[in-house]
Structure 1
Amino acid sequence: MPKKRVLPYILLGLINNQTKMSGYQISQEFNNEIGEFWHASHSQIYPELQRMIDDNWIKQDDETTDSKSIFYIITADGKSTLNNWLTEPLSAKDDYFSLKLYFIKDRNNPLLKNLLEQQLQMTSDHYDHLLKRKSLLFTDESNKEENYGHFLILTRAIEREQNHIKWLKDKLD
């Protein structure tokens, strides 16, 4: 089964948060803010914008006076599509947590608590799995010495998940 395209949801979120955006402004977001955790090239963005127009998720802003730039605004269908994506449950195989979190602007948005709780559950499950792997693979010092690189990677992953759990719990309080 083909993987679901995520770029349209990112574009919807960006346009929704800014009221209207040009293609250039959208590209700049990928060079700056979104680019910290998701990448898209100029050659991916513009064809996707056209597909989104065809799907009636966005439209060109007819009131823009700058004839050099085309500005895009989100439609009611686009807002509904974005909201549906934001409320889809998180999946361990697709790491969309940061993306979805990025598009929540209000700390009182009920989606925020839901996202944090889902991520906490998945992170805790993964943390438990890593601890079990460590106890299974590294039963004594000789196992650790014979596979030291693996041991380091596993303990790094455990510490990363511990820190993530702590951060999530802190944000939920």
Structure 2
Amino acid sequence: MPKKRILPYVLLGLINNKGNLSGYQISQEFKHEIGDFWHASHSQIYPELSRMKDDGWLVDHDEEKSTFYSITEKGHQILRNWMEEPLTDSEEIFSLKLYFINDESDPLLQELLKQELKLKHSKLSYLEGRLKEVFINQKIIQKNYGHYLILTRAIEREKNHIQWLKDKIGHKKDAE
């Protein structure tokens, strides 16, 4: 099954959050905040904007020698539908969806955090199982020390992510 294209949703989210944006401004967004966890090239952005306009997700208008894009009502609904899709084991998608939530009281925020927490618990369980299965004694650890370090680093990363998620879920409860 082909991998779902994510770029259209990223573009919708950026335009939704920032308002009217030109293609150049969108490209610049990928060099700043969103570029820390998602990348798209100039050559990917413009054809996607054109497809989205043809699909009725965006409208464009010319202003001072630039074309600016705005999200349509259909685009808003497409974005929200994507945001509400259940998470899979992709931290990138979680990060993107989280990035596009503007309001702390959006019920989708807590849902995303809880879904990610469940995925992270599952991943941690898998990694801890691999550690027990592969590294059954000190001799095996010594012979495969780099692998051991990477696996234990992955376990620590998942534990830290789980704690962060729990803190954010708890933060909402404390604020209520």
Report what 1:72 is aligned to. 69
Percent identity of the aligned residues?
Answer: 58
**In structure 2, what residue type is equivalent to 1:22?**
S
The aligned residue for residue 128 of structure 1 is 125
Q: Give the aligned CA root-mean-square deviation in angstroms.
A: 1.1
Partner of 1:9: 9
Matches within 5 A, 1:102-117: 102-117=99-114
Q: Which runs of 4+ in 1 moved over 4 A?
A: none
Q: Summarize the alignment of residues 31-42 of structure 1 with structure 2, pairs less than 5 Å apart.
A: 31-42=31-42
User: Which of 138, 141, 156 is the aligned partner of 1:141?
Assistant: 138
Report the count of equivalent residues: 170
* Within-5 A mapping of 1:80-95: 80-92=77-89, 95=92
User: Tell me, which stretches of 5 or more residues in structure 1 are unaligned?
Assistant: none
Q: 1:48 to 1:54 in 2, by over 3 A?
A: same
Aligned partners of 1:107 and 1:93: how far apart in 2?
22
Counterpart of 2:68, as a letter, is F
Q: Deviations over 1:57-110 (max 9, x none)?
A: 00013xx6x331111100010000000000000011574000000000111100
Letter in 1 for 2:21: M
Q: Is the contact made by 2:19 and 2:70 (CA closer than 8 Å) also made in structure 1?
A: yes
Comparing 78-87 and 18-27, the one that deviates more: 18-27
Distance 1:115 1:95 in 2: 13
Given the two structures, how large is their TM-score scaled by the length of structure 2? 0.93
Mapped partners of 1:146, 1:110: distance in 2 = 49
- 1:159 alignment partner in structure 2: 156
Distance 1:18 1:96 in 2: 19
AA of the residue aligned to 2:106 = N
AA at the equivalent of 1:88: E
Report the 3-state secondary structure (helix = DSSP H, G, I; strand = E; otherwise coil) of the residue aligned with 1:9.
Answer: helix
Per-residue CA deviation, residues 85-139 of structure 1 (Å, 9 max, x unaligned), is 0000001157400000000011110010000000000001100111111111111
